[in-house]
């Protein structure tokens, strides 16, 4: 069964409309700052949230709203995270109530999200204005506007739509995401809203989401910081009219495969668009003791400031890779490690049996000057494997985060 | 009993001589690259080493050499870490043997260390030349030369000497260190060679060193990367002629206090001289559940790329601090958190009950433009407290590490 990439985003599956606009949370009038996604019918819903102990007020409200496994709309602003302020939960609840009223649905069916500066009070006036206007703008062509409206320091709009067949029916999945800074492997590390018209139970949808998260969104690191506000949610309308998936059979596996496709695409998009990034880094690790160990080591490599800075400088420094593996906390035999740097320009082996090799520096530079770099690692511990994504550490990362609020 | 800061470094205690010179490991003739410290008599020795699974060949040899609690000399080169190469241990052993021969002492009494690039074979020719020349240069005025010779990307020479009284005798301690990149809280995070003329048993010296490490060297983070080659060693000659310390009485406590003074000084020096750093950051945390919890949270704040970049930009962003506390892995009530930024220019409260406060942005900027910034955090969990040190994340960090090898 094949998965086909199609045009569009969250509005590709049956039943969904979306919109994005500038409401005034941000000063810059040309930057959209509020997004709405709406489904004609109530959806089965699932979500995973940040593991940060300090989490945003919207997380509190969303977790409560979709605890019954049901949702019908998403409301999300950028520019202010509505976190670490005195009246955050109250205002997140207000966003939910206003959205429900504007759409004529229940407040418990709203997914509320905010992203932006932490620790400042959210001005409700522009939010209320936005929520009153958005329903008029909702359309099946509005996905891209919604994707734009949730961006913060992202430089690229992140949306995807795919089509597959489940239970003899054409089923679609769509998604929009925002990423950039504060991205680190720890459950739901950014905002991603996934839609589908598949018919599936809440339990199976939540299970499928958890399953793919650990190999996709949770394998990204931009700067090692786990944000307070991040979540990945899925709404499934059931309008594809396949037999409702309630067990882990073939159909369930197809849902997992589709969500995996979306997750992998977004993981790479988010990592490659990390704040100030000029390169997407992919660490492909094999031969670890087991899969959890492989994940920890691959993430340690991708998260190392020294590895990231070396990649920015196109410096084939295998010592940085070995060092980051070594402090991952996992036990292994360094003398069983081999390392390659790979890209569209070729492949170069820089380490064998834990020792640095002499290599053609000029060719290495050529390999590392490409936009997408693979750090391939072979270990001699067992059959554990993992892939993690990150980006280089650049002057612009420092610049962007040196003066984020002003 | 008071501890008095005195002039000098490793040669301040009785019995020690040192030297540093350019031997040719580095291309740059004006940069000293090999150091020797020698004591007239065999010393009691203690050391702590990197916890990185990938550790340097010199660590293997040094650990073996001082397993009997005895040492008489240090040999250390910069420019090449002699790590992750095929013949590393053999060459580290050769360094030990050559040094012993040149000084007329036993090879098992040599502390061997190397710092610099990982994964490249160490050229023994300049090393052998250096080891043959250094004994002629040894002098009680050579501590500063030795301190210079172990520097890598350090911008400041790091040495200290103190005097105290133990058992009615004048006792001195001295130290030299190198720091800069790859500094992260995890046991022995740089090179530091401490000397003393105190008379103490190996067991008590090792215990005292372990005790102070956890509040000093292990509370620093420059970039979250734990190096492969780092160690802190102490050699005590006994020439102060105090009664040998063999139990945990008053005299032992004075040794701990003296080592703590050295450790605190070096921790600040190393953090403030982190690669590319323009500011020393000190996180003073009180009110955590317990001390281990306080340490974890304080280190999480000081290690956050986003906190570090905000400090570089003199941006009083309390959200970054709260967020870094939240992903530390420790459990706590965010609504019990208060945060201040403090410096020579004043103190400004930016967070109360876990919520961002409105504050005078201009004054905040003034506070954060100083060279030494304190991030003061009060929590409402218990009586745990900790202090951690770090530095800001700057363009120069990226520049230095973007092309370290070439």
Determine contact, residues A193/A175, Cβ cutoff 8 Å. yes
**Min Cα–Cα distance to chain B from A254, Å:** 34
pLDDT tens for each residue of B316-337? 888 889 988 988 889 999 999 9
Report the side by side order of strands in the sheet with B355-356.
Answer: B220-221, B384-391, B280-288, B372-378, B338-343, B346-352, B355-356
pLDDT tens for each residue of A207-236? 999 999 999 988 887 666 667 778 899 999
Percent of chain B whose pLDDT exceeds 90: 71
A chain contacts of residue B322, beta-carbon cutoff 8 Å: 54, 84, 118-119, 228
CATH code given to domain A4-272: 3.60.70.12
**Min Cα–Cα distance to chain A from B53, Å:** 4
DSSP code, position B243: P
User: Angle formed by the axes of helices B305-312 and B291-303, to 10°?
Assistant: 60
Spell out the domain ranges in chain B: 4-270, 280-402
Nearest residue, CB atoms, B319 vs list A118, A328, A361? A118
Q: A164 an active-site residue?
A: no
- Give the count of beta carbons closer than 10 Å to the beta carbon of residue B30: 6
| Domain B280-402 annotated CATH 3.10.20.340 | yes
Query: Per the structure block, which two tokens stand in for A364?
Result: 């290495």
Give the residue with greater pLDDT, B183 vs A113: A113
Percent of chain B whose pLDDT exceeds 70: 95
| Cβ–Cβ contact A84 with B under 8 A | yes
Q: Is the pLDDT assigned to residue B342 strictly greater than 90? A: yes
Determine contact, residues A320/A341, Cβ cutoff 8 Å. no
d(C-alpha A197, C-alpha B48), whole Å: 59
pLDDT at B404: 54
DSSP codes joined into one string, A307-365? HHHHHHTT---HHHHHHHHHTSS----GGG-EEEEEETTEEEEEEETTEEPP--HHHHH
Bridge-partner residues for A340, per DSSP? Answer: A349, A376
B chain contacts of residue A332, beta-carbon cutoff 8 Å: 53
ipTM: 0.73
CB contact under 8 A, A84 and B334: yes
Q: Taking Cα atoms as reference points, which of B332, B242, B347 lies closest to residue B286?
A: B332
Count A/B contacts: CB-CB distance under 8 Å: 219
CB contact under 8 A, A53 and B324: no
B chain contacts of residue A186, beta-carbon cutoff 8 Å: 327
B chain contacts of residue A276, beta-carbon cutoff 8 Å: none
Q: Is the pLDDT assigned to residue B16 strictly greater than 80? A: yes
Report the range of poorest mean pLDDT among A396-400, B34-38, B342-346: A396-400
d(C-alpha B192, C-alpha A62), whole Å: 51
CB contact under 8 A, B85 and A394: no
Highest mean pLDDT among A354-358, A387-391, B245-249: B245-249
d(C-alpha B131, C-alpha B137), whole Å: 10
Do B4-270 and B280-402 fold alike per CATH? no
**Min Cα–Cα distance to chain B from A377, Å:** 15
CB contact under 8 A, B120 and A350: no
Bridge-partner residues for B342, per DSSP? Answer: B347, B374
**Min Cα–Cα distance to chain A from B274, Å:** 13
Backbone angles phi, psi at A145, to 5 degrees: -60, -40
| Cβ–Cβ contact B364 with A under 8 A | no
CB contact under 8 A, B355 and A51: no
Q: Is the pLDDT assigned to residue A281 strictly greater than 90? A: yes
d(C-alpha B137, C-alpha B143), whole Å: 11
Residue with the two structure tokens 């080169």? B77
Determine whether B383 is exposed, middle or buried from the number of CB atoms within 10 Å of its CB (0-12, 13-18, 19+).
exposed
A chain contacts of residue B341, beta-carbon cutoff 8 Å: none
Residues 199-258 on A with a CB inside 8 Å of B are 223-228
Q: Tell me the average pLDDT across B45-57.
A: 88
Q: Taking Cα atoms as reference points, which of B184, B152, B213 lies closest to residue B25?
A: B152
> Is the Cα dihedral B103, B109, B111, B112 positive or negative?
positive
Report the residue of chain A nearest B308, measured CA to CA: A402
pLDDT at B188: 31
Determine contact, residues A115/A152, Cβ cutoff 8 Å. yes
Query: Exposed e or buried b for every residue in B79-116, given b needs 16+ CB within 10 A?
Result: bbbbbbbeebbebbbbbbebbbebbebebbbbbbbbbb
| Cβ–Cβ contact B181 with A under 8 A | yes
pTM attached to this predicted model: 0.81
Residues of B with catalytic function: 189
Query: Per the structure block, which two tokens stand in for A7?
Result: 């045009």
Question: Residue B48, SS3?
Answer: strand
d(C-alpha A69, C-alpha A246), whole Å: 14
Percent of chain A whose pLDDT exceeds 70: 95
Backbone angles phi, psi at A393, to 5 degrees: -100, 120
CB contact under 8 A, A118 and B356: yes
d(C-alpha A314, C-alpha A317), whole Å: 9
pLDDT at B146: 98
Q: Taking Cα atoms as reference points, which of A239, A238, A163, A248 lies closest to residue A204?
A: A248
Query: Per the structure block, which two tokens stand in for B404?
Result: 């370290």
Q: Are strands B338-343 and B346-352 parallel, antiparallel or unpaired?
A: antiparallel
pLDDT tens for each residue of A126-180? 999 999 999 999 999 999 999 999 998 888 899 999 999 999 999 999 999 998 7
Determine contact, residues A48/A231, Cβ cutoff 8 Å. yes
| Domain B4-270 annotated CATH 3.40.50.720 | no
Indicate which residue of A44, A62, A115, A189 is catalytic.
A189
Kindly calculate the radius of gyration of chain B based on its CA atoms and give it in whole angstroms: 22
Q: Please, which pLDDT band fits residue B185 given cuts at 50, 70 and 90?
A: very low
Report the range of poorest mean pLDDT among A16-20, A140-144, A299-303, B252-256: A299-303
Rounded (5°) CA angle B273-B274-B279: 70
Q: Taking Cα atoms as reference points, which of A173, A117, A176 lies closest to residue A146?
A: A176
CB contact under 8 A, B118 and A226: no
Q: Please, which pLDDT band fits residue B305 given cuts at 50, 70 and 90?
A: confident
Please count the residues of chain B: 406
Distances (CA, A) of B94 to B59, B76, B88, B115: 14, 13, 10, 16
Question: Residue A380, SS3?
Answer: coil
**Min Cα–Cα distance to chain B from A236, Å:** 31
Q: Tell me the average pLDDT across A345-358.
A: 93
B chain contacts of residue A355, beta-carbon cutoff 8 Å: 84-86, 119
CB contact under 8 A, A186 and B327: yes
């Amino acid at each position: 069964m094949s998965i086909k990439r199609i045009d569009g985003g969250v509005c590709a599956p049956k039943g969904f409309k979306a919109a994005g606009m500038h409401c005034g949370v941000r000063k810059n009038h040309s930057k959209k700052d509020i997004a709405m996604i709406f489904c004609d019918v109530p959806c089965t819903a699932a979500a995973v949230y940040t593991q940060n102990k300090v989490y945003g007020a919207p997380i509190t409200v969303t977790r409560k709203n979709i605890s019954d496994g049901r949702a019908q709309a998403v409301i999300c602003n950028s520019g202010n995270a509505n976190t670490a302020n005195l009246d955050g939960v109250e205002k997140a609840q207000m966003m939910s109530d206003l959205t429900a009223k504007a759409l004529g649905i229940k407040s418990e069916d709203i997914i509320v999200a905010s992203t932006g500066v932490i620790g400042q009070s959210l001005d409700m006036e522009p939010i209320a204005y936005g929520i009153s206007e958005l329903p008029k703008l909702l359309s099946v062509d509005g996905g891209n506007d919604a994707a734009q409206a949730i961006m913060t320091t992202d430089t690229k709009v992140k949306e995807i739509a795919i089509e597959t067949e489940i239970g003899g029916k054409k089923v679609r999945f769509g998604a929009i995401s925002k990423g950039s800074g504060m991205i680190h492997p720890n459950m739901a590390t950014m905002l991603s809203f996934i839609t589908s018209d598949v018919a599936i139970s809440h339990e199976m949808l939540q299970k499928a989401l958890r399953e793919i998260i650990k190999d996709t969104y949770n394998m990204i690191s931009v700067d090692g910081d786990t944000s307070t506000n991040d979540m990945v949610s899925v709404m499934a309308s059931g309008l594809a009219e396949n037999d409702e998936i309630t067990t882990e059979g073939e159909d369930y596996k197809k849902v997992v495969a589709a969500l995996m496709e979306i997750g992998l695409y977004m993981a790479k998009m988010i990592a490659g668009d990390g704040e100030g990034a000029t390169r997407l880094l992919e660490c492909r690790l094999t031969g670890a003791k087991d899969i959890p160990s492989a994940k920890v080591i691959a993430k340690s490599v991708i998260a190392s400031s020294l590895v990231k800075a070396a990649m920015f400088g196109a410096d084939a420094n295998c010592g940085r890779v070995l060092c980051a593996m070594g402090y991952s906390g996992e036990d292994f035999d360094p003398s069983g490690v081999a390392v390659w740097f790979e890209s569209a320009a070729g492949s170069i082996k820089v380490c064998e049996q834990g020792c640095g090799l002499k290599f053609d520096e000029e060719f290495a530079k050529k390999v590392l000057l490409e936009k997408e770099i693979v750090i391939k690692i072979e270990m001699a511990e067992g059959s554990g494997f993992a892939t993690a994504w990150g980006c280089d550490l650049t002057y612009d990362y420092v610049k962007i985060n040196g003066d984020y609020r002003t």
